Amino acid sequence: MSYFRDSSEWQWLFTHALDWEALLPVFYPAYPTPEGWQNPDEIRSFAAEILEQVSLWCEKKIAPRAPLLDKEGPGKIENGLMLPNELLLSLYREARELELFGMTTARQHGGMELPAAMGMMSFAFIGRACLASSSQLSFYTSMADMLERFCTKEDCQRLIPKILNGELSGSMALTEADSGSDIGSLQTTAVLQPDGTYHVRGSKMFITNAGGGLSFVLARIQGEPEGLSGISLFLVEQFIEGRQNYLVTKHEHKMGMRGSFTCEILFENSLAKLVGEKNQGLSMMFHLMNQSRVGVGAQGLGLMEACLDYVQKYAHERKQFGRQLIDLPLFKRNYDQWQVECDAFRALFIDSLNSFTLYHRLDLKKRNTGELTESEQKIFEEATQSTRQLTPLLKYYGAETALEISKKSIQALGGHGYMLDHSVERWHRDSFGPVVYEGTSQIQALMVLKDLVKDVFKRPADFLSFLLPGPLPALNKTGAEHGQHEFLKLDAQVKKGLSTLVLKTLRPEEFFKLFDSKNWMQKEKLEKLMMHSESICQAMAYLATMKVLAKHYEKDDSRGKLFWDYHRLIHPRLMGILDDWKIW
């Protein structure tokens, strides 16, 4: 079975949810293309062929190897080096043969320069086959992207071909023993040298693929301000002229994702290059982190698919009370609801890749050339805004739903699910990784709240308009039109409840203070609103998903069933959230 070709959902979304008319012109402004493609149909066919190849590789090679990788681990740490075992080395060789490392990298560096959407869709398939493998592979393509986007031309020409050839990968080094979510408290320092280079001192922990050959490291230049404003980004290579430049000192023993390296790194006057301007490191690292957060959404989707496919097969084979499990009413309802949520999230994920791909492409062009056309600038601004809004929702919703579905999958198998003979226990162990790394679910929720509060004070009239009555009842509306109306009605209801919550929580007590925005930003009141950040994030994720499903329903009547099934699933959840906002 092909994850891609044999899935009607993936096929529909690839054909109809990806906005090919918007995506292809920013990559291929004229035909024939440098690759020789004569028209958009040839490009779409090639993209589908690539996804099919990746899908089959995942099914036939990665998935069968995953249980052994989980059991044996990724390799060992020896003499400060990360030494992958044959299981990982096989993975890397196969990926190189598929040219996976260069799928989205520029042609000038030997890549295929395909839209970022292709890379993320491939990543979902790899995550379905083996979450640990997906994490290890991600630090090839993401390193090439960071070099292209932020580093010198010389470093790109020297390092990217090695990445595409599988000789070099890397890591992003943020976390320290006393600096996790609170990045501003980091202690790693960088000391300027007479020749303009830096020596980095400090240690980092929980670093995926720490010994791949290079690392993008957050550190504070000696004498620069404390907190977030004084953080810079450095490129640190593991070997300089044959000399080991930093040490990998420990491989963590994890509850899940045991097939990936998660390590400590020790920098002892490690030679480093400043990336970009000093004290601007966080914005560059956030590019990589936000790209990774979209990737976590892909991993979550892959986990959901793996669990549900396994449960479905088991439920058709297993009999209880003289019937197949899948035919027992409660089991069937539960399974159908899990499948609906997976299908709905997949639709949200694929739709979000439109804005992500446009942002990804035009941001790189702007950094490399310094300019965009007027139309490109408009597209870029819209795509940037949309990507900013959707990224924490994808990370939160994808990771949390994968965690829940993997737990339910164990229960679906009963006592068998608790045994090591079945993969669902491994997937559940693995599923805790995505809710923690690249910013915990709660950090994503706080990001959503932060943008919401900023938006409230930037556009107060829009905010207050949510307090007005919502859409009138639907009269003589059917099909997609009725679906769109139901979405708008629910959207208005939730935003009215949210507006009431914000107004009730932040509103100054004295009337004369109402008209000064500073009086709405009192720390105690903001902290009270923060208590609701997770339910706000959940509500925004449900609405974003429903909006996408309504759009797809308008395109194709056959998408109506998923829209209404999802509406039935999340409507009571949203009503519960609204009740919670009223109580508190």
pLDDT digits (tens, 9 = 90+) for 478-488: 788 999 999 99
pLDDT of 458 strictly over 90: no
pLDDT of 475 strictly over 80: no
What does the alpha-carbon distance between residue 246 and residue 238 come to, in Å, rounded to a whole number?
A: 6
Q: So where are the chain's domains?
A: 8-166+283-436, 169-282, 441-583
More confident residue, 467 or 347: 347
What does the alpha-carbon distance between residue 487 and residue 403 come to, in Å, rounded to a whole number?
A: 27
What does the alpha-carbon distance between residue 509 and residue 382 come to, in Å, rounded to a whole number?
A: 37
Express each pLDDT in 528-568 by its tens digit.
899 999 999 999 999 999 999 999 999 999 999 999 999 99
The tokens of 184 are what?
Answer: 């501003």
Please state, as a whole number, how many other Cβ atoms lie within 10 Å of the Cβ of residue 127: 33
Asked if 73 and 85 count as a contact pair (C-beta separation under 8 A), the reply is: yes
Express each pLDDT in 147-187 by its tens digit.
999 999 999 999 999 999 999 999 999 999 988 888 889 99
**Cα angle 147-153-155, degrees, rounded to a multiple of 5:** 55
Express each pLDDT in 23-65 by its tens digit.
999 999 999 999 999 999 999 999 999 999 999 999 999 999 9
pLDDT of 474 strictly over 60: no
Closest residue by Cα to residue 122 from 141, 146, 109, 108:
141
**pLDDT value for 463:** 66
Please state, as a whole number, how many other Cβ atoms lie within 10 Å of the Cβ of residue 456: 19
What does the alpha-carbon distance between residue 331 and residue 171 come to, in Å, rounded to a whole number?
A: 43
Confidence of residue 105 (pLDDT cuts 50, 70, 90): very high
**pLDDT value for 333:** 96
Task: Indicate the average pLDDT of the chain.
Answer: 93
With respect to CATH, is domain 8-166+283-436 assigned 3.40.50.12160? no
Who's near 459: CB < 8 A, 6+ residues apart? Answer: none
Asked if 560 and 480 count as a contact pair (C-beta separation under 8 A), the reply is: yes
Alpha-carbon dihedral sign for residues 239, 242, 245, 247: positive
Express each pLDDT in 383-428 by its tens digit.
999 999 999 999 999 999 999 999 999 999 999 999 999 999 999 9
Express each pLDDT in 509-531 by its tens digit.
665 565 566 666 777 888 889 99
**pLDDT value for 254:** 96
Strand-pair category, 169-173 with 213-221: parallel
The amino acid occupying position 135 is S
Going by the DSSP 8-state scheme, the letter that residue 30 receives in this structure is S
Please state, as a whole number, how many other Cβ atoms lie within 10 Å of the Cβ of residue 474: 15
Residues 571, 573, 576, 577: what is their CA dihedral angle, to the nearest 10 degrees?
-100
Note the CATH number of domain 169-282: 2.40.110.10
**pLDDT value for 426:** 98
Closest residue by Cα to residue 363 from 265, 284, 474, 299:
284
pLDDT of 102 strictly over 90: yes
**Cα angle 172-173-179, degrees, rounded to a multiple of 5:** 135
pLDDT of 472 strictly over 60: no
510 phi and psi, to 5 degrees? -85, 135
**pLDDT value for 484:** 93
Query: What predicted TM-score, i.e. pTM, was given to this entire model?
Result: 0.94
Going by the DSSP 8-state scheme, the letter that residue 225 receives in this structure is P
pLDDT of 470 strictly over 80: no
**Cα angle 550-551-556, degrees, rounded to a multiple of 5:** 95
What does the alpha-carbon distance between residue 491 and residue 468 come to, in Å, rounded to a whole number?
A: 13
Give the Å distances, CA to CA, from 283 to 79, 81, 230, 430, 442.
34, 30, 12, 29, 20
Give the Å distances, CA to CA, from 368 to 124, 151, 153, 371.
29, 10, 10, 8
